[in-house]
Chain A
Amino acid sequence: MTNDNTLISVQDLKVYFRSGHECARAVDGISFEIRQEETVCLVGESGCGKTVSALSILGLIQTPPGEIAGGQIMFQGKNLLELDEEDMQKIRGNRIAMVFQEPLTSLNPVFTIEDQIGEAISIHKNIGSGELRDCCIKLLKDVGIPSPVQRLKDYPHQLSGGQRQRVMIAMALACDPDLIIADEPTTALDVTVQAQILQLLKSIQETRSMSILYITHDLGVVANIAHRVYVMYSGIVTEQGNAAQIFHHARHPYTQGLLASLPSRSKRGKRLFSIPGTVPNPAYKPAGCPFHPRCPHAIPICGKEYPKMCDYGQAHLARCPVLFKNSHNPDKPEPKSI
């Protein structure tokens, strides 16, 4: 499955959180890969394990209560899960950087912008202080902050939300990483600002030729930015494929449900669809397919057997044997989406 240009590949990653006698299986065996210069989206409802997967790539899962129960994360030939803390630090921020969801709280309120950006650089690069300042200014310019020199001495609370997120991105870009993990970077922002940030990310990805792992629950964003998409549900990947495959030929009932609940012009005036029920508690997942209690196509076996990945070809996979069988049954027409 791994190509030569695979940057990072996560295989069968399991992250559990223990608390007392309970064990929340937040990530329960996911695999995905990101190639160089590619934007990959991880989509799913909140609580399905997207952020945990991202954090575990960076080794930021608190242990205890969290624990990596299995799997491997291969990054440039090394298994990140086996690296010790020191080596991991050399990768964090340097090779893999992350942009967080809440720019409001993700910047340290008591340090200036310069401190925070400069720190990321100085920790990984041997660089003089004058040069450092220039670096910071350049970075700020790159992410589109007006009059960066004045901004350097500002504290985060003096910036607007969009600007803060730009600073975050600047921080992530500081060491020219190979991979940026963006964890819902636009969720907390105004719609107009969202678009700007997305645009920024896109342009950065193109100009700097780096890979982005973009985590979101917003399919609109996915359509805008993604090369490939992984749909997650309750700690597992339910469907993967390129953007077109996911949007036009969704094979998994969950993906179909998600798409159905997207508002669009054609659905104007109709009641918006919603998937009934909620994501299961990660500590008490149903047996078999985790989606089966909410699934319109569920058959008894769904509650018993863990579903396998079914290959629809062209690297489009979905974890629903029921629909797979149906789609290969000539009697019934192929599921068709609008």
Chain B
Amino acid sequence: MNKKEKGFNKNFQLETPLAPKRTRLQEFWRLFRQNRLAILGLFIFILFFCCAIVGLFMTSGPDPLLDPAMIRLQEKLRPPLAKPNLDSLRREEIPYLGFYLMGTDDLGRDVFARMLQGAWVSLTVGFVAVGISVLIGIFMGGIAGYFGQHHIRVDHVLVTLVLISGAALVTANFIRSGAALLCLTPAYIFYFIWSQNRSGKKTLPLWAKVFRKNAVSIDTLIMRIVDIMLCFPSFFLILTVVALLPASIYNIMIVIGLTSWMGATRFVRAEFLSLREQDFVAAVKTLGAGNFRIIFRHMMPNAMAPVLVSATIGIATAILTEAGLSFLGFGVPPPHATWGNILSDGKNFIFDAPWLTFIPGIAILIVVLSFNLFGEGLRDVLNPKLRERH
């Protein structure tokens, strides 16, 4: 046998050279390309993105090429492709294209210019809102998934409650009692440090023991917060908050973001919980990597897939939500044009100027559709369970 062993080919190649090596991205692209609908979605998405960028440059600045705010009352409700009536317009009022590509609205503003501007604004609303929700989601989900078993002690809860009620009292103009409560917190912290230094091994009094008892695990806490948030019907919550706050584009983005992070939190938490148990994390841990490094370098990239998918679809949802709010009069206020408010403004003219309804309506439809298809494609590709079977 020894002889034979020696006889085995020494020049064998450990890895078969014939299978081409691909990076993860290439592999991803190879799979993604097979989904024609998703490719279509991506294509429209890129087109939309370009439009939005081009639109941003063409419609902003001190002297934009296409001024979406330019009011030409005498040119109102002109149908698409109509030529402007040159006699009645000042020179700066003549549309850049020489005609109204998508007609004009009830104030004679160029719908094309407004659509271009709206593309960027709608995109921003979608991205920022989803960005906020994804950030919160990753943060909360990450903490719940990674530090989940850590416990919050009774005194933490009490100190937080005292802090909050103190702050509330101060804002409600009961400054003295509020300040007293606020001072209690550092006092307790000092006491805590002092007693720790001093006592060492001495037994603690009963109340201190109660105070140091574990009240609730971080995971439970965060998931309960998620539960609480999920108890509010989402559109209704958005509507309440938007109706109560002064209308502004930022409020809308923030509100949509703040009310839609629960999904991302759950995804990230689930991924983290399963990743944490996996061998490679244990391996990294034994190598002495810090929590921060483990989370961001090793776990986060692996947990991103479902978040990415839900983010893509979230952008589409945000655009639709904004349109719905616009319908109720709580959308992004002027001077920002969004596709949502162009559409809801236009609906009053559905019999007199149908293009004001149909152009933004169909535009939203196409863009949201492309986002959804793209997201679906991503899901297929990123989902390892489905991938194996291809």
Contacts and interface: CB of A to CB of B under 8 A. Distances in A.
Given A273-B5, A296-B4, A20 B18 contact: no
A249 interface: no
B12 A273 contact: no
Nearest to B16: A280
Given A65-B390, A278-B16, A284-B20, A260 B4 contact: yes
Interface residues of B, number: 18
Contact of A20 (B1, B5, B8, B30): B30
B12 A276 contact: yes
Contacts, number: 49
Contact of B16 (A20, A256, A284, A295): A284
Contacts of A284: 16, 18-20
Contacts of B14: 276-277
B240 interface: no
Given A65-B390, A293-B12, A293-B13, A281 B19 contact: yes
B18 A294 contact: no
A296 B390 contact: no
Given A20-B30, A260-B4, A277 B20 contact: no
Interface string A288-331: 00000111111000000000000000000000000000000000
Contacts of B1: 260, 267, 273, 338
B220 interface: no
A276 B8 contact: yes
B9 interface: yes
Contacts of B9: 294-298
A286 B16 contact: yes
Interface of A (DSSP majority class): loop
Contacts of A65: 390
B196 interface: no
A256 B5 CA distance: 11
Interface string B1-31: 1001101110011111011100000000010
B34 interface: yes
A19 interface: yes
A171 to B, nearest CB: 25
A285 B390 contact: no
A280 B19 CA distance: 8
A56 B1 CA distance: 38
A283 interface: yes
Nearest to A19: B390
Interface of B: 1, 4-5, 7-9, 12-16, 18-20, 30, 33-34, 390
Given A256-B4, A280-B19, A295-B9, 5 more contacts: A20-B30, A277-B13, A277-B14, A280-B16, A281-B16
24 contacts: A19-B390, A20-B30, A20-B33, A256-B4, A260-B1, A267-B1, A273-B5, A276-B12, A276-B14, A277-B15, A277-B16, A280-B16, A283-B19, A284-B18, A284-B20, A285-B18, A286-B16, A293-B12, A293-B13, A294-B12, A295-B9, A296-B8, A296-B9, A297-B9
Top 8 nearest A-B pairs (CB, nearest first) are: A296-B8, A284-B18, A281-B19, A284-B19, A280-B16, A296-B7, A296-B9, A276-B12
